[in-house]
Chain A
Amino acid sequence: MARPTLSVRDLSIAYRARRGQVQAVRGISFDIERGEALALIGESGSGKTTVGLGLMHLLPATARIVDGSATYHRPANGSDATAREIEVLGLKGDALRRFRWGECAMVFQSALNALNPVLRISEHFADTARAHGYLSASGQSNALRERSMDLLSRVRLDPERVWRSFPHELSGGMRQRVLIALALLLEPQLLILDEPTTALDILTQRSIMDVLKELRSQLGFSMLFISHDLALAAELADRVATMYAGRIIEIGDVRTIFQNPYHPYTIGLIKAVPTLAGDKEDLTSVPGSPPDLIDLPTGCKFHPRCPLADARCRSDEMDQTEAAPGHQVACWRWPDARDVLKSFQVK
Chain B
Amino acid sequence: MSEPLITLEHVQRTFDVKGQTITAVNDVNLEIPAGEVLCLVGESGCGKTTTGKMIAGLLPVSYGRILFRGQDIAALAPAERKSYRLGVQMVHQDPYASLNPVQTIADILAAPLQHHRFTRGEAETRKRMRELLEIVDLTPPDDYLDKYPHQLSGGQRQRVSVARALTVNPAFIVADEAVSMVDVSIRISLLKMFTRLKDEMGVGVLLITHDLALAKYFAWEGRIGVMYLGRLVEIGPARQVVGHPQHPYTQVLLSAIPEADPDVTRAKPRIALRSTDVPSLLRLPTGCTFHPRCPAFAGEVCAREVPALKRAGWGSDVACHLAQAHEP
Q: Do A and B share a direct contact in the complex (Cβ within 8 angstroms)?
A: yes
Interface residues of A (CB under 8 A from B): 43-44, 156, 171, 173, 201-207, 209-210, 228-232, 234-235, 254-255, 258-259, 265, 268-270, 272-277, 279-281, 283-287, 289-290, 346-347
* CB <8 Å contact, B259 and A277: yes
Please, which residues of chain B bring their CB within 8 A of the CB of A279? 239
The answer to whether residues A274 and B270 also contact, given A228-B184, A258-B261 and a CB cut-off of 8 A, is: no
For A43, give the chain B residue with the smallest CB separation. B183
Of chain A, the residue at the smallest CB distance from B218 is: A274
Q: How far is the CA of A275 from the CA of B210 in the complex (A)?
A: 14
Known interface pairs A280-B217, A280-B220. Does A231 touch B188 (Cβ–Cβ under 8 Å)? no
Q: Does B299 contact A (CB under 8 A)?
A: no
Are B278 and A290 neighbours in the complex by a CB distance under 8 Å? no
| A232–B265 CA distance with the chains assembled, in angstroms | 9
Contact A202 B259 (CB under 8 A): no
Supplied contacts A173-B278, A231-B265, A275-B259, 13 more A-B pairs, CB within 8 Å: A202-B43, A202-B212, A202-B256, A228-B184, A230-B260, A255-B263, A274-B188, A276-B259, A277-B264, A285-B185, A289-B186, A347-B189, A347-B192
Query: A285: nearest residue on chain B (CB-CB)?
Result: B189
User: Please, how many residues of chain B have a CB less than 8 angstroms from a CB on the other chain?
Assistant: 43
Contact between A283 and B257 (Cβ–Cβ < 8 Å)? Answer: no
- Interfacial chain A residues near B265, Cβ < 8 Å: 231, 234-235
Does the CB pair A272–B258 fall under 8 Å? no
Residues of A within 8 A of B258 (CB): 206, 209, 229, 231-232, 234-235
Among A230, A280, A287, A290, the most chain B Cβ lie within 10 Å of the Cβ of A280
B82 interface contact, C-beta 8 A: no
Chain A residues lying within 8 Å of B266, measured Cβ to Cβ, are: 235
Within 8 A of A (CB), among B223-268: 239, 242, 252-254, 256-266
- Pairwise interchain contact A275-B260, C-beta atoms closer than 8 A: yes
Task: Let me know if A234 and B185 touch, CB within 8 A.
Answer: no
B216 at the interface (CB under 8 A from A): yes
What chain A residues lie within 8 Å of B239 (beta carbons)? 279-280
Contact assessment for B189 and A230 in the assembled complex, using a CB-CB cutoff below 8 Å = no
Interface assignment of B281: CB less than 8 Å from any CB of chain A: no
Distance (whole angstroms) from the CB of A230 to the closest CB of chain B: 4
| B257 pairs with A276, CB closer than 8 A | yes
A234 touches B187 (CB 8 A): no
The residues of B that contact A265 with a CB separation of less than 8 Å are 185
Asked if B186 contacts A285 (CB within 8 A), the reply is yes
Report the nearest B residue to A238, measured CB to CB.
B262
Could you say which residues of chain A place their CB within 8 Å of the CB of B220? 280
Q: Does B276 contact A (CB under 8 A)?
A: yes
> B213 on the interface (CB 8 Å rule)?
yes
Cβ–Cβ contact B188 & A283, under 8 A: yes
How long is the Cα–Cα vector from A274 to B189 in the complex, in angstroms? 12
Contact pick for A284, options B137, B188, B253, CB 8 Å: B188
What is the bound-complex CA distance between A275 and B190, given in angstroms?
17
Query: Which B residues touch A204, using CB under 8 A?
Result: 276, 278
CB-based contact B276/A207 at 8 Å: yes
**Complex formed: what's the CA distance from A259 to B262 in Å?**
9
Interface presence of B284 (CB below 8 A): no
Taking CB atoms, residues of chain A closer than 8 Å to B214 are 274
Question: B184: which A residues are within 8 A, CB to CB?
Answer: 43, 228, 230, 269, 272-273
- Chain A residues, Cβ within 8 Å of B256: 202-203, 205-206
Give chain B nearest CB distance to A287 CB in angstroms.
8
The distance in angstroms between the C-alpha atoms of A170 and B256, with both chains bound, is 22
Q: Per-residue 0/1 for B175-199: is the Cβ within 8 Å of any A Cβ (1 yes, 0 no)?
A: 0000000011111111010000000
11 A/B residue pairs, CB under 8 Å, sorted by A: A44-B183, A202-B210, A202-B253, A203-B276, A230-B260, A234-B261, A269-B184, A270-B260, A285-B189, A289-B155, A289-B186
Is there a chain A Cβ closer than 8 Å to B122's Cβ? no
Q: Does B89 sit at the interface, judged by CB under 8 A?
A: no
| B273 at interface, CB cutoff 8 A | yes
Nearest chain B CB to A193 CB, angstrom units: 14
Nearest-neighbour CB distance to chain B for A247, whole angstroms, equals 16
The residues of B that contact A276 with a CB separation of less than 8 Å are 212-213, 216, 242, 254, 257, 259
C-alpha spacing A7/B243, complex, angstroms = 44
In the complex, the chain B residue whose C-beta lies closest to that of A231 is: B258
Q: Which of A258, A272, A274, A277 contacts B185 (CB 8 A)?
A: A272
- Check A259–B259 contact: CB distance below 8 A: no
Q: Verify A268–B185 contact, CB threshold 8 A.
A: yes
B187 A285 Cβ-Cβ under 8 A: yes
Q: Which of B186, B217, B253, B277 contacts A286 (CB 8 A)?
A: B186
* A188→B281 CA distance, assembly (Å): 38
Q: In the assembly, what is the distance between CA of A123 and CA of B277, in Å?
A: 24
Asked if B98 is an interface residue, CB under 8 A from chain A, the answer is: no
Residue of B nearest to A244 (CB): B185
| Complex: A126 Cα to B127 Cα, angstroms | 67
Q: How far is the CA of A273 from the CA of B184 in the complex (A)?
A: 7
Determine whether the beta carbon of A272 is less than 8 Å from that of B188. yes
- Nearest Cβ distance between residue A37 and chain B, in whole angstroms? 12
Say how far B192's CB is from chain A's closest CB, in angstroms. Answer: 7
Choose among A203, A210, A268, A281 the residue that contacts B217 (Cβ–Cβ < 8 A): A281
Residue from A43, A171, A272 whose CB has the most chain B CB atoms within 10 Å: A272
Closest to A283 in B: B188
- The winner among B213, B252, B262 for most chain A CB atoms within 10 A is B262
Please determine whether A275 and B263 come into contact, CB atoms closer than 8 angstroms: no
Bound-complex Cα distance A346 to B183 (A) = 16
Does B50 interact with chain A (Cβ within 8 Å)?
Answer: no
Name the A residues within 8 Å of B276 (CB-CB).
156, 173, 203-204, 207
Q: A203-B43, A209-B258, A254-B262 are in contact. Are A171 and B210 (CB under 8 A)?
A: no
